[in-house]
Amino acid sequence: MAQTFQIADFLVTAADPLTIQEQDVLVYSVSKARAFVDQALLQTIQALQVETQCVNREEAASHLPTDLLIHVEANFRTGKSSNQLFAVLHRMQGLLLKLSAGMHSGDLHFKEYGLEYFEPKGSFGAPPNGYVSKTISEKVQIVTSVLKGGEGKCLNVNLKDYKNDSKIFLDFGKLAIHNFEGATDTVIHECTHKFLASLDNTLDCPWKRAGEYYREWRALKAEPPIPEAWSSLSTEEAVQNAYGLTNYIHYMPTDDIALYHQGMMTAERSIGGRSNRTVFNSITNEDL
Protein backbone atom coordinates (compact mmCIF):
# COMPACT_ATOMS: atom_id res chain seq x y z
CA MET A 1 0.00 0.00 0.00
CA ALA A 2 1.53 3.32 -1.09
CA GLN A 3 2.14 5.96 1.55
CA THR A 4 3.15 9.60 1.22
CA PHE A 5 6.02 10.88 3.35
CA GLN A 6 7.50 14.33 3.77
CA ILE A 7 11.26 14.40 3.33
CA ALA A 8 12.91 17.76 3.90
CA ASP A 9 10.41 20.16 2.26
CA PHE A 10 9.08 17.89 -0.51
CA LEU A 11 6.82 14.83 -0.70
CA VAL A 12 7.62 11.23 -1.57
CA THR A 13 5.06 8.50 -2.28
CA ALA A 14 6.43 4.99 -1.82
CA ALA A 15 5.41 1.50 -0.75
CA ASP A 16 7.77 1.67 2.23
CA PRO A 17 9.74 4.45 3.92
CA LEU A 18 12.98 5.24 2.11
CA THR A 19 16.15 3.96 3.71
CA ILE A 20 18.45 6.52 5.31
CA GLN A 21 20.83 6.14 2.38
CA GLU A 22 18.05 6.70 -0.17
CA GLN A 23 16.82 9.74 1.72
CA ASP A 24 20.33 11.18 1.89
CA VAL A 25 20.86 10.81 -1.87
CA LEU A 26 17.44 12.28 -2.69
CA VAL A 27 17.76 15.26 -0.34
CA TYR A 28 21.28 15.94 -1.60
CA SER A 29 20.27 15.71 -5.26
CA VAL A 30 17.23 17.96 -4.81
CA SER A 31 19.30 20.53 -2.91
CA LYS A 32 22.05 20.48 -5.53
CA ALA A 33 19.53 20.59 -8.40
CA ARG A 34 17.92 23.70 -6.93
CA ALA A 35 21.33 25.31 -6.44
CA PHE A 36 22.38 24.58 -10.03
CA VAL A 37 19.12 26.02 -11.39
CA ASP A 38 19.50 29.19 -9.35
CA GLN A 39 23.16 29.56 -10.33
CA ALA A 40 22.32 29.09 -14.02
CA LEU A 41 19.59 31.71 -13.66
CA LEU A 42 22.05 34.15 -12.07
CA GLN A 43 24.62 33.61 -14.84
CA THR A 44 21.91 34.09 -17.47
CA ILE A 45 20.75 37.34 -15.87
CA GLN A 46 24.33 38.63 -15.65
CA ALA A 47 24.85 37.86 -19.35
CA LEU A 48 21.69 39.81 -20.18
CA GLN A 49 22.91 42.74 -18.09
CA VAL A 50 25.98 42.89 -20.34
CA GLU A 51 23.62 43.26 -23.31
CA THR A 52 22.08 46.38 -21.74
CA GLN A 53 25.52 47.95 -21.27
CA CYS A 54 26.74 47.53 -24.84
CA VAL A 55 25.93 49.39 -28.05
CA ASN A 56 24.56 46.30 -29.81
CA ARG A 57 24.28 42.54 -29.45
CA GLU A 58 27.40 41.85 -31.47
CA GLU A 59 29.49 43.90 -29.06
CA ALA A 60 27.72 42.32 -26.07
CA ALA A 61 28.51 38.82 -27.35
CA SER A 62 32.19 39.76 -27.61
CA HIS A 63 32.05 40.80 -23.93
CA LEU A 64 30.92 37.37 -22.71
CA PRO A 65 33.32 34.60 -21.65
CA THR A 66 34.16 32.15 -24.44
CA ASP A 67 33.00 29.11 -22.46
CA LEU A 68 29.57 30.65 -21.93
CA LEU A 69 29.22 31.38 -25.66
CA ILE A 70 30.17 27.80 -26.52
CA HIS A 71 27.88 26.47 -23.79
CA VAL A 72 24.85 28.21 -25.29
CA GLU A 73 25.80 27.38 -28.88
CA ALA A 74 26.41 23.69 -28.15
CA ASN A 75 23.29 23.05 -26.11
CA PHE A 76 20.84 25.23 -28.05
CA ARG A 77 22.21 25.21 -31.62
CA THR A 78 22.44 29.01 -31.87
CA GLY A 79 25.36 29.07 -34.27
CA LYS A 80 27.44 32.26 -34.30
CA SER A 81 24.49 34.66 -34.43
CA SER A 82 24.54 37.19 -31.60
CA ASN A 83 20.81 37.77 -32.16
CA GLN A 84 20.07 34.07 -31.66
CA LEU A 85 22.39 33.98 -28.66
CA PHE A 86 20.57 36.74 -26.80
CA ALA A 87 17.13 35.56 -27.91
CA VAL A 88 17.90 32.21 -26.28
CA LEU A 89 19.31 33.85 -23.14
CA HIS A 90 16.10 35.89 -22.76
CA ARG A 91 14.10 32.69 -23.24
CA MET A 92 16.23 30.86 -20.68
CA GLN A 93 15.70 33.58 -18.09
CA GLY A 94 11.95 32.99 -18.21
CA LEU A 95 12.29 29.20 -18.24
CA LEU A 96 14.69 29.15 -15.29
CA LEU A 97 12.48 31.48 -13.26
CA LYS A 98 9.57 29.08 -13.74
CA LEU A 99 11.71 26.01 -13.08
CA SER A 100 13.17 27.46 -9.88
CA ALA A 101 9.71 28.39 -8.60
CA GLY A 102 8.40 24.90 -9.33
CA MET A 103 11.32 23.13 -7.69
CA HIS A 104 10.87 25.20 -4.51
CA SER A 105 7.09 24.68 -4.45
CA GLY A 106 4.71 22.12 -2.98
CA ASP A 107 4.34 20.66 -6.48
CA LEU A 108 7.71 18.91 -6.09
CA HIS A 109 6.49 15.39 -5.37
CA PHE A 110 8.34 12.16 -6.16
CA LYS A 111 6.70 8.76 -6.56
CA GLU A 112 8.28 5.33 -6.44
CA TYR A 113 8.53 3.71 -9.85
CA GLY A 114 6.63 0.42 -10.04
CA LEU A 115 3.62 1.22 -7.87
CA GLU A 116 1.22 1.45 -10.80
CA TYR A 117 0.36 -1.25 -13.32
CA PHE A 118 0.60 0.84 -16.49
CA GLU A 119 4.14 2.20 -16.44
CA PRO A 120 6.85 2.28 -19.08
CA LYS A 121 9.09 -0.74 -18.62
CA GLY A 122 12.70 -1.37 -19.49
CA SER A 123 15.47 1.21 -19.73
CA PHE A 124 14.15 4.71 -19.25
CA GLY A 125 15.52 8.09 -18.29
CA ALA A 126 18.94 8.93 -16.96
CA PRO A 127 20.41 7.16 -13.90
CA PRO A 128 18.88 6.52 -11.45
CA ASN A 129 15.98 6.40 -13.92
CA GLY A 130 12.86 8.49 -13.88
CA TYR A 131 10.02 9.89 -15.93
CA VAL A 132 7.10 12.32 -15.83
CA SER A 133 3.77 11.53 -17.50
CA LYS A 134 2.80 14.01 -20.21
CA THR A 135 -0.45 15.93 -20.00
CA ILE A 136 -3.28 15.07 -22.39
CA SER A 137 -2.70 18.37 -24.19
CA GLU A 138 0.98 17.51 -24.72
CA LYS A 139 0.11 14.07 -26.09
CA VAL A 140 -2.42 15.56 -28.50
CA GLN A 141 0.08 18.13 -29.76
CA ILE A 142 2.78 15.51 -30.31
CA VAL A 143 0.41 13.18 -32.20
CA THR A 144 -0.90 16.10 -34.28
CA SER A 145 2.67 17.12 -35.14
CA VAL A 146 3.53 13.59 -36.28
CA LEU A 147 0.33 13.29 -38.35
CA LYS A 148 1.25 16.54 -40.09
CA GLY A 149 4.62 15.09 -41.07
CA GLY A 150 6.67 16.41 -38.15
CA GLU A 151 8.77 14.39 -35.75
CA GLY A 152 6.96 15.41 -32.58
CA LYS A 153 10.05 17.25 -31.39
CA CYS A 154 8.44 20.57 -30.58
CA LEU A 155 5.44 21.77 -28.57
CA ASN A 156 3.79 25.17 -28.53
CA VAL A 157 3.19 25.43 -24.80
CA ASN A 158 2.02 28.58 -23.06
CA LEU A 159 4.06 28.24 -19.87
CA LYS A 160 2.00 30.92 -18.12
CA ASP A 161 -0.93 28.50 -18.13
CA TYR A 162 0.98 25.22 -18.24
CA LYS A 163 0.56 22.82 -15.34
CA ASN A 164 1.52 19.15 -15.15
CA ASP A 165 0.03 17.46 -12.08
CA SER A 166 2.01 14.26 -12.61
CA LYS A 167 4.43 13.27 -9.87
CA ILE A 168 8.06 12.65 -10.76
CA PHE A 169 8.54 8.89 -10.89
CA LEU A 170 11.93 7.65 -9.66
CA ASP A 171 13.38 4.19 -9.21
CA PHE A 172 14.25 4.59 -5.52
CA GLY A 173 15.95 1.19 -5.52
CA LYS A 174 18.64 2.63 -7.80
CA LEU A 175 19.10 5.89 -5.92
CA ALA A 176 21.62 4.47 -3.48
CA ILE A 177 23.77 2.72 -6.09
CA HIS A 178 24.26 5.71 -8.40
CA ASN A 179 26.58 8.62 -7.77
CA PHE A 180 25.32 11.95 -6.52
CA GLU A 181 26.02 13.62 -9.87
CA GLY A 182 23.77 11.17 -11.71
CA ALA A 183 20.98 11.58 -9.16
CA THR A 184 21.21 15.38 -9.38
CA ASP A 185 21.16 15.19 -13.18
CA THR A 186 18.01 13.05 -13.05
CA VAL A 187 16.19 15.45 -10.71
CA ILE A 188 16.96 18.44 -12.96
CA HIS A 189 16.02 16.50 -16.10
CA GLU A 190 12.68 15.28 -14.75
CA CYS A 191 11.83 18.69 -13.29
CA THR A 192 12.24 20.25 -16.76
CA HIS A 193 9.63 17.75 -17.99
CA LYS A 194 7.20 18.55 -15.19
CA PHE A 195 7.57 22.31 -14.98
CA LEU A 196 8.69 23.30 -18.50
CA ALA A 197 7.00 20.68 -20.73
CA SER A 198 10.40 19.68 -22.09
CA LEU A 199 10.78 16.72 -24.47
CA ASP A 200 13.48 14.09 -24.95
CA ASN A 201 14.43 15.28 -28.41
CA THR A 202 17.87 13.63 -28.23
CA LEU A 203 19.81 11.18 -26.15
CA ASP A 204 22.34 12.57 -23.68
CA CYS A 205 24.84 15.25 -24.69
CA PRO A 206 28.26 14.17 -26.01
CA TRP A 207 29.68 16.90 -23.74
CA LYS A 208 29.21 18.10 -20.17
CA ARG A 209 31.40 21.19 -20.17
CA ALA A 210 31.08 22.17 -23.79
CA GLY A 211 33.97 24.67 -23.65
CA GLU A 212 36.44 21.93 -22.74
CA TYR A 213 34.96 19.57 -25.34
CA TYR A 214 35.24 22.14 -28.13
CA ARG A 215 38.78 23.22 -27.12
CA GLU A 216 40.07 19.64 -27.05
CA TRP A 217 38.89 18.98 -30.60
CA ARG A 218 39.96 22.35 -31.95
CA ALA A 219 43.42 21.79 -30.47
CA LEU A 220 43.54 18.86 -32.89
CA LYS A 221 42.51 21.28 -35.66
CA ALA A 222 39.15 19.56 -36.00
CA GLU A 223 35.59 20.65 -35.36
CA PRO A 224 33.98 18.77 -32.48
CA PRO A 225 31.85 15.83 -33.65
CA ILE A 226 28.15 16.39 -33.03
CA PRO A 227 25.70 13.48 -33.44
CA GLU A 228 23.04 13.87 -36.11
CA ALA A 229 20.27 13.91 -33.49
CA TRP A 230 21.85 17.07 -32.06
CA SER A 231 23.08 18.80 -35.21
CA SER A 232 19.66 18.44 -36.86
CA LEU A 233 17.79 20.19 -34.03
CA SER A 234 16.38 23.63 -34.70
CA THR A 235 17.04 26.20 -31.98
CA GLU A 236 13.39 25.92 -30.93
CA GLU A 237 13.64 22.14 -30.61
CA ALA A 238 16.91 22.46 -28.72
CA VAL A 239 15.49 24.95 -26.22
CA GLN A 240 12.73 22.46 -25.48
CA ASN A 241 15.10 19.48 -25.24
CA ALA A 242 15.36 18.12 -21.69
CA TYR A 243 18.94 16.96 -22.22
CA GLY A 244 20.13 20.36 -23.43
CA LEU A 245 18.26 22.19 -20.68
CA THR A 246 19.71 19.86 -18.04
CA ASN A 247 23.22 20.26 -19.38
CA TYR A 248 22.89 24.05 -19.59
CA ILE A 249 21.88 24.09 -15.91
CA HIS A 250 24.10 21.38 -14.45
CA TYR A 251 27.34 22.39 -16.18
CA MET A 252 26.90 26.15 -16.53
CA PRO A 253 30.36 27.82 -16.69
CA THR A 254 31.17 29.70 -13.49
CA ASP A 255 33.16 32.59 -15.00
CA ASP A 256 32.59 35.97 -13.36
CA ILE A 257 30.64 37.52 -16.25
CA ALA A 258 30.54 41.04 -14.82
CA LEU A 259 34.30 41.03 -14.19
CA TYR A 260 35.01 39.69 -17.67
CA HIS A 261 32.82 42.40 -19.21
CA GLN A 262 34.56 45.10 -17.20
CA GLY A 263 37.93 43.75 -18.29
CA MET A 264 36.89 43.97 -21.93
CA MET A 265 35.65 47.54 -21.45
CA THR A 266 38.95 48.55 -19.85
CA ALA A 267 40.99 46.87 -22.60
CA GLU A 268 38.99 48.53 -25.35
CA ARG A 269 39.34 51.97 -23.79
CA SER A 270 43.09 51.49 -23.43
CA ILE A 271 43.55 50.80 -27.16
CA GLY A 272 41.27 53.49 -28.49
CA GLY A 273 37.73 52.20 -28.33
CA ARG A 274 35.56 49.57 -29.95
CA SER A 275 36.85 50.25 -33.47
CA ASN A 276 40.24 48.87 -32.38
CA ARG A 277 38.83 45.61 -31.04
CA THR A 278 40.37 43.69 -33.94
CA VAL A 279 43.79 45.05 -32.94
CA PHE A 280 43.24 43.84 -29.38
CA ASN A 281 42.24 40.38 -30.58
CA SER A 282 45.32 40.13 -32.79
CA ILE A 283 47.78 40.66 -29.94
CA THR A 284 49.58 37.48 -28.84
CA ASN A 285 52.03 36.69 -26.06
CA GLU A 286 54.90 37.12 -28.52
CA ASP A 287 53.84 40.73 -29.06
CA LEU A 288 54.09 41.59 -25.35
Q: What is the pLDDT of residue 223?
A: 87
Listed by start position, the domains of the chain span 3-270
Q: What is the pLDDT of residue 251?
A: 95
pLDDT tens digit at each of 288 positions of the chain: 789 999 999 999 999 998 888 899 999 999 999 999 999 999 999 999 999 999 999 999 999 999 999 999 999 999 889 999 999 999 999 999 999 999 999 999 999 987 776 655 544 444 446 789 899 999 998 898 888 888 888 888 888 889 999 999 988 877 766 678 888 999 999 999 999 999 999 988 888 899 899 989 988 988 899 999 999 999 999 999 999 999 999 999 999 999 999 999 888 887 655 443 444 345 454 443
Q: Which CATH class is domain 3-270?
A: alpha beta
Q: What is the pLDDT of residue 127?
A: 47
What's the whole-model pTM score? 0.88
β-strand 130-131 against 168-170: which pairing, if any?
antiparallel
Q: What is the pLDDT of residue 113?
A: 84
